[in-house]
Every structure is written in structure tokens, then in C-alpha cells.
Chain A
Amino acid sequence: MPRLNSIEELDKLRAQCVAGKDNDAQRPCLTVCAGSGCSAAGAEDLLTALRKAVEKAGMKDQIDVKSTGCHGFCERGPVMLVWPEGTFYNRVTASSAADVVASVCNGHKPVEKLLYKDPVSGKQCLTEEEVPFYARQTRVLFANNGRIDPKQVTDYLLVGGYAAVAKVLGGMTADGVVETVTKSGLRGRGGAGFPTGVKWSLCRKNGKPNGHGDVTRYIICNADEGDPGAFMDRSLLEGNPHSVIEGMIIGAFALGAKQGFVYVRAEYPLAVKHLQVALQQAEELGLLGDNILGSGMSFRIRLVQGAGAFVCGEETALIASIEGRVGEPHPRPPYPVEKGLFGKPTVINNVKTWASVGHIINRGAEWYSAIGTEKSKGTMVFSLVGKINNTGLVEVPMGITLHEMIYDIGGGIPNGRSLKAVQIGGPSGGCIPADLVDLPIDYEQLTKAGSMMGSGGMVVMDDSTCMVDVARYFMEFLEEESCGQCFPCRQGTQEMKGILTRICEGRGKEEDLDTLQDLGWLMRETSLCGLGQTAANPVLTTLRYFRNEYLAHIRDEVCPAKVCKKLIVYEINPTMCDGCGACVKVCAGTAILGEKDHAHKIDQAKCTKCGACMEVCKPKAVLVS
């Protein structure tokens, strides 16, 4: 593609793409979600099968087959859309490819077995808009994920991509850009929720000019999405990497930065790949490099891969990692906007924050601030996972209630179980109990309830989840991922984990609860960085809302949710066992004895409490107490 040397040339290229598409407005296009989730479920095979089927039908020049980024409905993957109708198919395996192609060739009658059936109303849904999971969402950042091929910059141009860059370079001032972002009320989507415009203003005030009067500033995109249970950043980078690049170009303009970095986790190979392709295409077009669109502005982006450390999501640790050091955070103040990468003023923002900038420039600060609540503007992307029917990525306006998220969008709790708690914000966040389910979700409300927005991970837990075990799990995670530099975090996570393990094993004391409270306070108040300061949140919130469960473990040595291994016993009910022997095959401790067609029995001495027997028992003869 030839380099674009002016805004006019960009507009011309976009017009060409649009014209080319309009000619074929009715041209059938089969788009398949090829995000990491659907890929794991077989999307690649489906794509190959579709292409083969199209060729076999002799329609190679009439029907397009395209892979797109994540649509969000991961529970139902592989997912695909048939255009121009926008018919939505779910759980499409490669074997259905022929049917899909046939339906397109013959009058476009939808393949019924692939349509989504609403479990509540029983209705078959034709398009995404009809599916309750999507209907209640306000997709801004993810709006285009199902429409564009992330490896084709022309697709991005078609949906209005880089128009915001053109608008900015075509007549806005750096001050104007910062003002717009500030007025929109955008807050950092990485977790802390710091007002983005304020961060940018602070950075602009800092920096000593060099001999030529230039000030060196850097911008960084934090794509080290480490929160377990969160995968929005991954999906955005896989599905629409250009939206992030566009935001960064605008940010670089506002901050006078010539170099930007995207720091991506090593565990996201597909995101890295798509980002590399996108960067290459942007450079080819001259949207990155020197004299962007003839404006005189120079800006380059370097992709840096993480090396496997959760703590590198912390901004000063991330900076250290880019500098080639260990990811050990630095005490703040001074903050990165004052002294950041290589000692220069630096703005670090999350992937979703950068992706929001383009929309705000295009549609205006007023549009953005009209969505959401008084102090939390805009949309938020959550990953809804755990014990919920519709797992996936959800983009909703701030202020939506938990109830709506879980029941209307999430489809409720599976297997007839009941909601117990929702863990929001990853290991830095806390557990919200079921009786707070009418809580509107925004930064302030979550903090008041003891939790934290975090990067948007939302893990739903039902009555088969032990909250003490959850607290122990998070402590284990944080103990492992703590950088170990400062004493309260390094030692505190170890002590807390030790105490929680004892409680889970029935060796807890009531004084332990006060000790946990004190340790939690100490870590929150004296830890060097955000990881340590929020590390106690899961424990403190579960202590606050589920104290009874802790006491049951301590006083009665009982795990009410029947999870903690040392406190449960697996037994086979002899009257219900049909002797099929399925359990024997999967028993980890070879602890099950019995003859075929006769009731089996578990040898408690050998039982490892793995629970596999219960998982495979059809007559549900295995009981746990």
C-alpha cells in the first residue's frame, strides 16, 4: 500500500475502500470469531472447512470467508456471523460448514440448529441484537470486533478507523485534545480509575527541554493483563489492534511523545502477532513514523513482550521491565508522569483506555460523559466468567446493576445452584456477596463495598464455592507473584496464606481472624506498591461478608461448601450405585473397590479427595459430606 502523505490521501483511501464495499453491499460474507477462545474451540478448523465448502460450491469469487476478533460470547464458541443479514450462529463445528454455505447459496434461509435459543423465552434468535447476552450491552470498544479482520487495516478504515487521527492532526491543538479527554470524564481502565485527562495534563507540565528545546516524553500501553479471569485486553488487541494504535497516536500528539511502547504479556501470542501485523501496516501507510500525514509529527511504537510476571502490570514495575530490569516496583512519589521510563515523564494507560480515545475524539466529550454515572463515565468491559451460564466479554454502561449483569446478560447460575458471591477486580479486588446484588457497578460503589473495579474481571461464584478457599487461593497467587522487595507484602502474603491454609485444614483458631485483620491493615497501609496494598482485599472482604463460613471452619471444622479437602469425605451410597465402574477408572488414588454390577465402596485411607468419581457418576451415587 502506498504511503499516505496527507489527510486528503487518507480520506481518499478510505473512500476507495467504502466504494469498493458498497458495490458489493449484498455480497455474502461469513465471519468467524478467531480469538484465542474460539480458536481453542475449533475456529481454525471451521474456517478451513468453510473455505473448502465455498470452493466446492464454486462460489469462491462470490462469497467471502473472514476471520475476526472476539465477539465476546465465549461460552457459545465457535461463533460466526453471516452477512449481509447479520445472522448469528453459535457452537458451529467444522462439520456444519457445508450446511452454512449451502444456506447462503440457496436463499439464505438460516440453519436452525446453529441459531441461539434463549433458554428463558425459548425463542430462536436470528441476529446478535436479539440475543439477550448482547441486547443489554452497549458495545463501543468492542463494536467492531465482529466486523473486521484485525489483520486488514482496510477493514479498520471501512468502519471509520483513523478518522480521529485525521481530525486531531487536521486542526486540533494539544491543549484541545487534553481538554476533550478531561471533559469526557474518561478514567483509567487498568484498575485504579485515575482520570486520564488529569494524568495527561500532569505529564505535560513535566520535562526539561534538551539543547534543542525538545522535551522527551514517552507513552506506554499497559497490555500486561495479569488478572486471572480477565481477557478483555487480549480480545481487544486480537480483534481491533488499530483502535489502540489510533488512541496512542492521538496521545502522542497531545503529549509531544515521539516514542511509544506496547507491553504485552508473553502468554498472549495471538495478540502479539496481530499487533505486529497492525504496526507493520500502520508504518507502511505512514501513520507511524516521521511526518505523519504531513503534519510534521513523528511517532513510533515498539512492541515489548512481558516475560511472565503479574507484578509487571504495576506501572513502575512495567517501566523497569522495559528498561531491562526485574519488575520490582519503585516507591511513588515520584510518579511516572514526573519521572518514568528512562527517567522521563511518561504516561501509562491501559489498552481499553487508549482504545476509548479515538471514540471520544470522533463523537465528542459530551457523548461519552452522557454514558455512565456521575463520577464513572463511559462503558466498561467486563469478563463475566465462573459459575454462570453465559460466560464471555460484556461491554456495558457504568452504573448497570450486578443483578442485570448476572441474570439478564449472564443468564443466571447453571445447574440450579444459587449465587453466592461475585469477585470483581482480580486479586486486588474483593468479593461482593449475593445480597448486594442490586449494587450499581461503578468505581465509587465498588470501593464503598470494599472491592475494586480493577481491570474488569468478574468471577461469579455459587454455593459450591468455599469463600475461605477463595481467599486462600488469592493469597497463594499473590505470594507467588509478589516481587518480594518490601517486607510487609513478602512476609504478609506468606503469613496470611499459612493461616488460611490452616483454617482450610481445620486447624484454625478464632484469634486467627483478628491476626488476619491486622495483617491486612498492615499490608494495605505500608506496602510499597499497589500489589501489596490491595493484596489483602480478598481476605478482608470475605471476612467482612462471610465471617460465618470462617467460623464454621474454625469452630466446627466443617466446610459448608464441601470444598476443603481435609474437611470432607467422599462416600458411595450403596443403594444408588449401579456398579458401572466408571469411578474406578478415574480414581486418582485407586481407592474404589467393587465388582461389576455390585455397589462400590471408597477406601478412605487411599482417597485423595480428588472428586473425579463424583464428576463421572451418572446415578449420582457419590456423596460428599
Chain B
Amino acid sequence: MATETEVIPEILAQFDETRSSLIPILQEIQNKYRYLPQPMLRQVAQKLDVSLSDVYHVATFYNCFSLEPVGRNLVQVCLGTACHVRGAPKVLDRLLTDLKLPEPGTTADMEFTVRTVRCIGCCGLAPVVRVNDNTHPNMSQAKVKGMLKKYYGKPVAREEVAQ
């Protein structure tokens, strides 16, 4: 959970104070804090002279943005056509069952956030699940438990995406 309410000046300094910087700025904040804290969005709206309603719409429109903090490990299940045809929905169901989630979301212990994604682009290796920066090819229901074990409680190696 971000304790800062101010977007660090380093982020804002990278961009022009124009409307077209809105999405890259939100992406920076999302990358750094793993979600978009409300006070920061207000500050961005003010800085770019964009209405808060507009900023809120952008923040709720795109899949990459989250207004709620996400779990330590982001699990993305690809539900693209190739993955679907090769059994991805069953992998998703198994994942949700094992993590006791009624639908894609964050576990109570904040360890995992499960999201569906439409096509990571590794269709030759369907079904595919991405956890953090690791891509797991040829998934099946039987492999889910083993895959989750690799991440539970383990430190997360995260690559900073350079802009």
C-alpha cells in the first residue's frame, strides 16, 4: 500500500504537462505502486488540467490500471482463442478453486491476484499462464498446484520497466 500521497516529482518531471502524457504517467504510477492511489490521481488531474472525471474514466477503462492494491504475485491467465481451444478455461477454474476465489481477483492474504488476459502472444504454447515476469507454457489443471507452490511466500524478482 502506498503511503505517499504525492506522486514523486521524478515521475511527473519525465513528462510534458499535456493531456497526452496522462496514460504514460498513470502507467509509471501503476508500475511503481502496483495500483493507482486516489490522492495521486487527484494530483495528476490538477497538474495536467484535466477533469478528475476524465482521469477516473481513463483509470477505470484500461485493463492495466487498478484502483485497488494488487497481490504480491500477479497471475495472468491467457484466454485467447488458441488457449481457449486448448483448455485454458479449465486451467482458470482450477486456479480459482485452488486459491478459493469466486472470480478473478485478489486472495485474502494478498499473495495472488488472478486476472484474465486476452492473448499474451505465445499461442504456439497454449494454454499459457504468466506469473509476474515468468511465462508458463503448456499449462494444464494438474500443473496448477505445482506452479502456485513456486511463488507462495517466495520473494518476487521484479524487473523495473525502463521508460
Contacts and interface: CB of A to CB of B under 8 A. Distances in A.
A331 interface: no
B20 interface: yes
Interface string B9-31: 00000000011111110110000
B82 to A, nearest CB: 4
B125 A309 contact: no
Nearest to A266: B64
Contact of B81 (A40, A77, A229): A229
A310 interface: yes
Contact of B119 (A229, A305, A324, A465): A229
Q: A272, A470, A477: which has the most chain B beta carbons within 10 Å?
A: A477
Interface residues of A, number: 66
B85 A37 contact: no
B57 A326 contact: yes
A586 interface: yes
B82 A307 contact: no
Contact of B123 (A77, A325, A327, A385): A385
Contacts of B161: 269, 272
A321 interface: yes
Nearest to B22: A324
B65 A307 contact: yes
B75 interface: no
Contact of A387 (B54, B85, B135): B85
B101 to A, nearest CB: 13
A513 B122 CA distance: 35
Contact of A267 (B61, B94, B120): B120
Interface residues of B, number: 53
Contact of A40 (B23, B50, B135): B135
A306 B30 CA distance: 13
Given A37-B124, A74-B123, A228-B79, A586 B142 contact: yes
Nearest to A73: B124
A323 interface: yes
Interface string A544-572: 00000000000000000000000000000
Nearest to B124: A74
Interface of B: 18-24, 26-27, 48, 50, 54, 57-58, 61-65, 78-87, 90, 93-94, 97, 117-126, 128, 133, 135-137, 140-142, 161-162
8 contacts: A37-B124, A37-B137, A74-B123, A225-B119, A324-B19, A391-B123, A470-B85, A615-B141
Interface of A: 36-37, 39-41, 74-75, 77, 225-231, 234-235, 266-269, 272, 276, 304-310, 321-327, 383, 385-387, 391-392, 423, 426-427, 457, 459, 461, 465, 470, 473-474, 477, 480-481, 483, 585-586, 588, 608, 610-612, 615-616
In order of increasing CB-CB distance, the 8 nearest A-B pairs are A74-B124, A228-B80, A308-B63, A307-B62, A324-B22, A231-B121, A40-B135, A385-B82
